[in-house]
Amino acid sequence: MSFALGHRALQAGYRLAAFDQIGSTNAEALERARAGERGPIWFVTTQQTAGRGRRQRAWIAPRGNLAATILEVLDVAPAVAATIGFAAGLAEATALDQVSIEAALRLGPGRPTYALKWPNDVLAGGKKLVGIGLEAEPVGERLAVVVGIGTNVVAAPEGLPTPAVSLAELGVQVSAEELFVALSDAWVEFRGIWDNGRGFAEIRRLWLERAAGLGEKVAINTGNATVEGVFDTIDDSGCLIVRTADGRRVPVAAGEVFFGAAASVGAT
Protein backbone atom coordinates (compact mmCIF):
# COMPACT_ATOMS: atom_id res chain seq x y z
CA MET A 1 0.00 0.00 0.00
CA SER A 2 1.31 3.44 -0.89
CA PHE A 3 0.79 6.73 0.93
CA ALA A 4 -2.15 8.91 -0.09
CA LEU A 5 -3.93 11.93 1.31
CA GLY A 6 -7.42 11.67 2.72
CA HIS A 7 -10.37 13.17 0.85
CA ARG A 8 -10.64 16.24 3.10
CA ALA A 9 -6.92 16.94 2.77
CA LEU A 10 -7.12 16.72 -1.01
CA GLN A 11 -10.14 19.02 -1.08
CA ALA A 12 -8.30 21.53 1.11
CA GLY A 13 -5.37 21.69 -1.33
CA TYR A 14 -2.74 19.74 0.60
CA ARG A 15 0.02 17.98 -1.31
CA LEU A 16 2.16 14.95 -0.50
CA ALA A 17 5.80 13.94 -0.83
CA ALA A 18 6.29 10.28 0.16
CA PHE A 19 9.63 8.52 0.62
CA ASP A 20 10.55 4.86 0.90
CA GLN A 21 13.28 5.94 3.34
CA ILE A 22 14.62 9.33 4.44
CA GLY A 23 16.93 10.76 7.05
CA SER A 24 14.43 13.23 8.51
CA THR A 25 11.04 14.38 7.26
CA ASN A 26 11.41 17.59 9.31
CA ALA A 27 14.80 18.36 7.77
CA GLU A 28 13.43 17.70 4.28
CA ALA A 29 10.49 20.04 4.93
CA LEU A 30 12.73 22.86 6.14
CA GLU A 31 15.11 22.41 3.23
CA ARG A 32 12.20 22.64 0.79
CA ALA A 33 10.94 25.78 2.55
CA ARG A 34 14.37 27.41 2.21
CA ALA A 35 14.25 26.55 -1.51
CA GLY A 36 10.88 28.27 -1.98
CA GLU A 37 8.27 25.64 -1.10
CA ARG A 38 5.31 27.32 0.59
CA GLY A 39 3.05 24.34 1.22
CA PRO A 40 0.87 23.14 2.64
CA ILE A 41 2.55 19.82 2.01
CA TRP A 42 3.11 16.57 3.91
CA PHE A 43 6.40 14.65 3.94
CA VAL A 44 5.96 11.00 4.96
CA THR A 45 7.88 7.76 5.25
CA THR A 46 7.72 4.40 6.97
CA GLN A 47 11.45 4.45 7.66
CA GLN A 48 13.26 7.50 9.09
CA THR A 49 16.94 7.11 9.88
CA ALA A 50 18.20 10.44 11.25
CA GLY A 51 15.33 12.31 12.86
CA ARG A 52 15.68 14.31 16.07
CA GLY A 53 13.18 14.80 18.87
CA ARG A 54 13.23 17.12 21.87
CA ARG A 55 16.65 17.77 23.43
CA GLN A 56 18.21 16.32 20.25
CA ARG A 57 17.25 12.75 21.09
CA ALA A 58 17.36 10.37 18.15
CA TRP A 59 13.95 10.04 16.51
CA ILE A 60 14.30 6.97 14.31
CA ALA A 61 11.32 5.29 12.70
CA PRO A 62 12.04 1.64 11.85
CA ARG A 63 10.34 0.17 8.81
CA GLY A 64 6.59 0.17 9.38
CA ASN A 65 6.36 3.11 11.78
CA LEU A 66 5.00 6.45 10.60
CA ALA A 67 7.12 9.59 10.35
CA ALA A 68 4.99 12.43 8.97
CA THR A 69 5.78 16.14 8.76
CA ILE A 70 3.47 18.92 7.68
CA LEU A 71 4.93 22.17 6.30
CA GLU A 72 2.83 25.31 6.60
CA VAL A 73 4.16 28.79 5.83
CA LEU A 74 2.30 31.23 8.06
CA ASP A 75 1.98 34.91 8.75
CA VAL A 76 2.12 34.55 12.55
CA ALA A 77 4.55 35.31 15.37
CA PRO A 78 6.74 32.43 16.63
CA ALA A 79 4.91 32.33 19.97
CA VAL A 80 1.61 31.86 18.16
CA ALA A 81 3.07 29.26 15.81
CA ALA A 82 4.14 27.20 18.83
CA THR A 83 0.50 26.63 19.79
CA ILE A 84 -0.14 24.68 16.59
CA GLY A 85 1.42 21.70 18.38
CA PHE A 86 -1.73 21.34 20.46
CA ALA A 87 -3.80 21.14 17.26
CA ALA A 88 -1.40 18.46 16.02
CA GLY A 89 -1.91 16.41 19.17
CA LEU A 90 -5.67 16.58 18.76
CA ALA A 91 -5.42 15.61 15.09
CA GLU A 92 -3.25 12.60 15.89
CA ALA A 93 -5.46 11.42 18.76
CA THR A 94 -8.54 11.76 16.55
CA ALA A 95 -6.87 9.75 13.78
CA LEU A 96 -5.87 7.08 16.29
CA ASP A 97 -9.45 6.87 17.54
CA GLN A 98 -10.64 6.36 13.98
CA VAL A 99 -8.22 3.57 13.08
CA SER A 100 -8.74 1.87 16.46
CA ILE A 101 -12.46 1.24 15.98
CA GLU A 102 -11.95 -2.41 15.02
CA ALA A 103 -9.66 -2.97 18.01
CA ALA A 104 -12.20 -1.31 20.30
CA LEU A 105 -14.92 -3.70 19.12
CA ARG A 106 -12.62 -6.71 19.48
CA LEU A 107 -10.99 -5.80 22.78
CA GLY A 108 -14.01 -4.31 24.57
CA PRO A 109 -13.07 -2.76 27.93
CA GLY A 110 -9.39 -3.46 27.19
CA ARG A 111 -9.40 -1.22 24.14
CA PRO A 112 -6.71 1.47 23.94
CA THR A 113 -7.51 5.07 24.84
CA TYR A 114 -5.30 8.00 23.94
CA ALA A 115 -4.31 10.94 26.13
CA LEU A 116 -2.33 14.08 25.34
CA LYS A 117 0.79 14.75 27.40
CA TRP A 118 2.05 18.32 27.55
CA PRO A 119 3.56 19.64 25.46
CA ASN A 120 3.49 17.33 22.46
CA ASP A 121 3.17 13.60 23.15
CA VAL A 122 0.29 11.15 22.76
CA LEU A 123 0.09 8.41 25.39
CA ALA A 124 -1.69 5.06 25.49
CA GLY A 125 -1.99 3.46 28.91
CA GLY A 126 0.52 5.96 30.26
CA LYS A 127 3.15 4.95 27.68
CA LYS A 128 4.43 7.12 24.84
CA LEU A 129 2.88 6.21 21.51
CA VAL A 130 3.48 9.41 19.54
CA GLY A 131 6.06 12.19 19.64
CA ILE A 132 5.37 15.56 18.05
CA GLY A 133 8.18 18.02 17.29
CA LEU A 134 7.88 21.59 16.04
CA GLU A 135 10.49 23.64 14.20
CA ALA A 136 10.20 27.07 12.58
CA GLU A 137 12.34 29.58 10.74
CA PRO A 138 11.70 32.80 8.79
CA VAL A 139 11.22 32.62 5.03
CA GLY A 140 10.91 36.12 3.67
CA GLU A 141 8.39 37.96 5.81
CA ARG A 142 6.60 34.78 6.89
CA LEU A 143 7.38 31.79 9.08
CA ALA A 144 7.97 28.26 7.83
CA VAL A 145 6.49 25.95 10.44
CA VAL A 146 7.09 22.21 10.34
CA VAL A 147 5.27 19.81 12.62
CA GLY A 148 6.78 16.34 12.77
CA ILE A 149 4.58 13.52 14.05
CA GLY A 150 6.19 10.17 14.78
CA THR A 151 3.91 7.23 15.59
CA ASN A 152 5.04 3.83 16.89
CA VAL A 153 2.93 1.69 14.58
CA VAL A 154 4.83 -1.62 14.61
CA ALA A 155 7.64 -1.03 17.13
CA ALA A 156 8.48 1.23 20.08
CA PRO A 157 11.91 2.55 21.10
CA GLU A 158 13.52 1.70 24.42
CA GLY A 159 15.43 3.85 26.89
CA LEU A 160 13.14 6.89 26.85
CA PRO A 161 12.29 8.86 30.02
CA THR A 162 8.69 7.72 29.48
CA PRO A 163 8.19 4.02 28.56
CA ALA A 164 6.98 3.66 24.97
CA VAL A 165 4.44 1.39 23.28
CA SER A 166 3.37 0.60 19.71
CA LEU A 167 -0.05 0.21 18.15
CA ALA A 168 0.81 -3.42 17.41
CA GLU A 169 1.44 -4.06 21.13
CA LEU A 170 -1.93 -2.47 21.89
CA GLY A 171 -3.70 -4.86 19.52
CA VAL A 172 -4.37 -2.22 16.87
CA GLN A 173 -3.56 -3.80 13.52
CA VAL A 174 -3.15 -0.90 11.11
CA SER A 175 -0.53 0.20 8.60
CA ALA A 176 1.33 3.50 8.62
CA GLU A 177 -0.34 4.32 5.32
CA GLU A 178 -3.85 3.77 6.72
CA LEU A 179 -3.10 5.88 9.77
CA PHE A 180 -1.72 8.69 7.61
CA VAL A 181 -4.96 8.95 5.60
CA ALA A 182 -6.87 9.53 8.84
CA LEU A 183 -4.22 11.94 10.14
CA SER A 184 -4.17 14.07 7.01
CA ASP A 185 -7.95 14.56 7.22
CA ALA A 186 -7.94 15.19 10.97
CA TRP A 187 -5.21 17.80 10.47
CA VAL A 188 -7.51 19.76 8.16
CA GLU A 189 -10.16 19.84 10.90
CA PHE A 190 -7.96 20.97 13.78
CA ARG A 191 -5.74 23.24 11.68
CA GLY A 192 -8.98 24.94 10.66
CA ILE A 193 -10.12 25.34 14.27
CA TRP A 194 -6.69 26.68 15.28
CA ASP A 195 -6.95 29.25 12.45
CA ASN A 196 -3.49 30.83 12.75
CA GLY A 197 -3.90 31.06 16.51
CA ARG A 198 -7.26 32.82 16.44
CA GLY A 199 -9.02 29.62 17.52
CA PHE A 200 -6.56 28.54 20.18
CA ALA A 201 -9.14 29.01 22.95
CA GLU A 202 -11.20 26.19 21.42
CA ILE A 203 -8.11 24.07 20.76
CA ARG A 204 -7.11 24.58 24.40
CA ARG A 205 -10.56 23.45 25.58
CA LEU A 206 -10.50 20.33 23.43
CA TRP A 207 -6.91 19.53 24.40
CA LEU A 208 -7.67 19.76 28.12
CA GLU A 209 -10.49 17.24 27.66
CA ARG A 210 -7.82 14.71 26.62
CA ALA A 211 -5.00 15.91 28.89
CA ALA A 212 -2.93 13.31 30.73
CA GLY A 213 -2.20 14.05 34.37
CA LEU A 214 -4.58 16.98 34.77
CA GLY A 215 -5.08 17.58 38.50
CA GLU A 216 -2.27 15.18 39.39
CA LYS A 217 1.10 15.66 41.02
CA VAL A 218 3.64 16.82 38.45
CA ALA A 219 7.36 17.57 38.25
CA ILE A 220 8.80 19.46 35.30
CA ASN A 221 12.52 19.44 34.62
CA THR A 222 13.19 22.63 32.64
CA GLY A 223 16.90 21.92 32.27
CA ASN A 224 17.82 24.65 34.73
CA ALA A 225 15.40 23.86 37.54
CA THR A 226 12.58 21.55 38.59
CA VAL A 227 9.06 22.85 39.21
CA GLU A 228 6.85 20.63 41.37
CA GLY A 229 3.18 20.79 42.28
CA VAL A 230 -0.15 19.91 40.67
CA PHE A 231 -0.93 20.17 36.95
CA ASP A 232 -3.61 22.87 37.09
CA THR A 233 -4.25 23.74 33.41
CA ILE A 234 -2.61 25.24 30.33
CA ASP A 235 -2.94 28.97 29.78
CA ASP A 236 -3.90 30.94 26.68
CA SER A 237 -0.31 30.79 25.37
CA GLY A 238 0.07 27.03 25.89
CA CYS A 239 2.19 27.18 29.05
CA LEU A 240 1.58 24.45 31.63
CA ILE A 241 0.38 25.96 34.90
CA VAL A 242 1.69 24.26 38.05
CA ARG A 243 -0.04 24.94 41.38
CA THR A 244 2.74 24.67 43.96
CA ALA A 245 2.40 23.58 47.59
CA ASP A 246 2.36 27.20 48.72
CA GLY A 247 -0.53 28.05 46.39
CA ARG A 248 1.39 29.81 43.64
CA ARG A 249 0.43 29.20 40.00
CA VAL A 250 3.68 28.91 38.06
CA PRO A 251 3.71 28.94 34.22
CA VAL A 252 6.18 26.61 32.50
CA ALA A 253 6.95 27.13 28.81
CA ALA A 254 9.06 24.00 28.18
CA GLY A 255 10.43 20.98 30.00
CA GLU A 256 10.35 17.22 30.63
CA VAL A 257 7.13 16.27 32.44
CA PHE A 258 6.68 13.50 34.99
CA PHE A 259 3.31 12.62 36.57
CA GLY A 260 2.17 10.83 39.70
CA ALA A 261 4.71 8.49 41.30
CA ALA A 262 7.16 9.25 38.50
CA ALA A 263 7.12 12.92 39.50
CA SER A 264 9.37 12.21 42.48
CA VAL A 265 11.82 10.35 40.25
CA GLY A 266 11.76 13.06 37.59
CA ALA A 267 12.49 15.73 40.14
CA THR A 268 15.81 14.16 41.14
Query: Do 157 and 241 reside in the same domain of the chain?
Result: no
Angle among Cα 222, 92, 132 to the nearest 5 degrees reads 30
Digit-coded pLDDT (tens) for 110-160: 789 999 999 989 999 999 999 999 999 999 999 999 999 999 999 998 877
If one counts the domains in the chain, the total is 2
CATH value at residue 64:
3.30.930.10
Average pLDDT value for residue range 73-77:
97
Across 61-70, 99-108, 230-239, the highest mean pLDDT is recorded for: 230-239
Q: Residue 111 falls within a domain, yes or no?
A: yes
Query: Do 165 and 226 reside in the same domain of the chain?
Result: no
Query: Do 115 and 54 reside in the same domain of the chain?
Result: yes
Query: Do 94 and 177 reside in the same domain of the chain?
Result: yes
Digit-coded pLDDT (tens) for 172-230: 999 999 999 999 999 999 999 999 999 999 999 999 999 999 999 999 988 888 999 99
Q: Residue 110 falls within a domain, yes or no?
A: yes
Q: Residue 2 falls within a domain, yes or no?
A: no
Query: Do 169 and 260 reside in the same domain of the chain?
Result: no
Residue 264 has pLDDT above 60, yes or no: no
Query: Do 232 and 129 reside in the same domain of the chain?
Result: no
Domain range holding 125?
7-209
